[in-house]
Amino acid sequence: MDKTAANQMWGGRFSAGPDAIMEAINASIGFDKRLAPQDIAGSRAHAAMLAATGIITPEDAAEIDRGLQQVLAEIEAGEFTFSTALEDIHMNVENRLREIIGAPAGRLHTARSRNDQVALDFRLWVREQCDAAIAGLEALMRAYLAQAEAGADWVMPGFTHLQTAQPVTWGHHMLAYVEMFARDRARFMDARARMNECPLGAAALAGTSFPIDRHMVAQALGFERPTANSLDTTADRDFALEFLSAASICAMHLSRFAEELVIWSSAQFRFVRMSDRFSTGSSIMPQKRNPDAAELLRAKLGRILGATVALFTVMKGLALTYSKDMQEDKEQVFDAADNLLLGLAAMEGMVSDLTANRAALEAAAASGFSTATDLADWLVRELNLPFREAHHVTGALVKLAEDKGCDLPDLALEEMQNVHGEITDAVYSVLGVQNSVASRTSYGGTAPVNVRAQIARWKEVLG
């Protein structure tokens, strides 16, 4: 078979035949060049340790450190040429180091492998993303707190099945998302604490015979301790899976509020107005204000959850320790982290700029017989009716109001007494939406006094 036929067989894109295809599938530099700062930080710590333990000379270590700093400066300045032929970020950095300092560069890889090196680089990068997610979540929580404080006693409908259920306060609704994102914050904090062990020193899979000091490297890189089992170290990607899992839950929460913004900003609801910064117009309908930023955020969950499923699928069938499959671990995590951090920043902007329509919220809160439960509770509390009987009486009164085309507070006392003779005019005290929300003082309830107490608590937590 001639070369032309071979190339056609392998695919027209690859003019050099099978070797080019192998290089393309094997190389990771196209995406793992993003790990350059972490790779160089790990190498600098490793070289310092090799010198401290007498494995390499102080002079070689100093040259290595000088060269690595030059490599990093070239990368940051955009002056570094990445080579696919050198496969990955590790070999690209080491090759350039050799060009700069010569023979001492060959001593840097003593007592380590690319297996523990990539585990270190990736773990350092994911740890940084946890920190960024925590910071983004705290900023977002503060934005919700500002909304809650502004509308601590504003009344709005609470929904079940997207049907009006009971009146709640705007502040209480905003605080619900503070609680959600606080759990996300805790998940990232927990994940960060669990991944904060240093992989370097596990070498290829079995450790090394050189007298290295893994605790020194761990301390230099800000880890709590070195990992305890070399096999697990090179095989482990739990830290990435845990980050993705936390990111997926967080993105789901972002998507839920994005959905509420889409609904609330519609002409049918008019609960909120989104700022021009996060809305777009229509190319054909001049009256339109589209909540595009919220809709795009709603879709981000698909990408982030997809990345989570992809990495679980990569890892599910791998025997210990390292397999080349694990090269497919990074692109999904990079994409998920980018989209999560973008989503957090975008949602913070949307919430900060959001204008709630207090009048529309209150009008909607009073519709749909939203104080029916308050009426049933009053019958139990004041007339000592069993709750099931009170529920039945309330249902009859709701039907009466529905037939008359009015709300419960609009029923005359006589009409109510025709349903149950012991009802007094004191019942009207619980039928207003303001009275309803003010009465919900149980811990975690919607009463404005509770809302303000929770705002104060969260301000103290966030500092």
Annotated active-site residue in 15, 161, 283, 442: 161
CB 92 within 8 A of CB 32: no
Q: What is the CA radius of gyration of the chain?
A: 31
Separation between Cα atoms, residue 295 and residue 387, nearest integer Å: 43
392-395 CB contacts, 8 Å cutoff, 24+ apart: 393/419, 393/420
CB 371 within 8 A of CB 394: no
| Nearest residue to 325 (alpha-carbon basis) of 5, 28, 38, 19 | 28
Residues whose CB falls within 8 Å of the CB of residue 334, separated by 6 or more in sequence, listed in order: 31, 34
User: What b-and-e string marks burial along 84-99, b requiring 16 or more CB atoms within 10 Å of the CB?
Assistant: eebbbbbbbbbebbee
CB 271 within 8 A of CB 338: no
| Nearest residue to 277 (alpha-carbon basis) of 360, 367, 351 | 351
In the 8-state DSSP scheme, what is residue 298? Answer: H
Which H or E run contains 394? Answer: helix 387-404
Separation between Cα atoms, residue 390 and residue 409, nearest integer Å: 17
265 catalytic, yes or no?
Answer: no
391 catalytic, yes or no?
Answer: no
Annotated active-site residue in 83, 282, 367, 429: 282
Residues whose CB falls within 8 Å of the CB of residue 307, separated by 6 or more in sequence, listed in order: 244, 332, 333, 335, 336
Name the residues annotated as catalytic. 161, 282
